[in-house]
Amino acid sequence: MPVGSSNLGKNTNPEQWKHDNQWEAEEVTITAAGVGGQRNLGVAVAAGKKRRVEEVTINHLGTNNTNVTLLISGGATKVTIPVPAQTGRVWFSNNGRKFTAGQISAVQSSDVTGGNTLVSASGVEK
């Protein structure tokens, strides 16, 4: 029997499980502030699955401070991340923020004066 598996067919190695269920969103560029600048992070969560966004990487090129919000597209806020002008941030959560079937994870920036905000995200989907 291969290492990291059991006779039940379930992966018992946490790192391998995470790798097998990895979810990543391509980097998006936010060029307008607020709701007008909301960008989806990939497609909707498939039926019967759940997505946990565990990491959000931000490169804010704007000349003003901003807040980057992870949210359900067109819906509730999951977390708001303050980002000073012309800096980057990596937000991380061991448990992540949960999105359920049919929901689309999205991001928006509160201020993009003087430059865009670039955002990517990753986590697990199972």
Average pLDDT over residues 41-49: 96
**Among 30, 103, 109, 26, residue whose Cα is nearest residue 72:** 103
Place of tokens 């992540």: 96
- pTM, two decimals, is 0.85
CATH for 23-125 (3.40.50, 1.10.10, 2.60.120, 2.40.50): 2.60.120
Measured distance CA(17)–CA(3) in Å, rounded: 12
Measured distance CA(124)–CA(126) in Å, rounded: 7
Sorted by where each begins, the domain ranges of the chain are: 23-125
Task: Examine the pLDDT at 2 and tell me if it is beyond 70.
Answer: no
Residue pair 78/70 in contact (Cβ under 8 Å)? The answer is: yes
Residue pair 101/48 in contact (Cβ under 8 Å)? The answer is: yes
Measured distance CA(7)–CA(2) in Å, rounded: 10
Instruction: Count CA atoms within 13 Å of residue 64 on its CB side.
Output: 10
Sheet with 117-125, strands from edge to edge, namely 22-30, 117-125, 50-60, 87-100
CA 9 to chain centre: 29
> What pLDDT sits at residue 21?
82
Question: Could you give the dihedral angle defined by the CA atoms of residues 33, 93, 90 and 29, in that order, rounded to the nearest 10 degrees?
Answer: -40
Task: Examine the pLDDT at 4 and tell me if it is beyond 80.
Answer: no
User: Does residue 15 sit in helix, strand or coil?
Assistant: helix
pLDDT tens-place string over residues 6-29:
444 566 777 776 768 899 999 999
Task: Examine the pLDDT at 82 and tell me if it is beyond 90.
Answer: yes
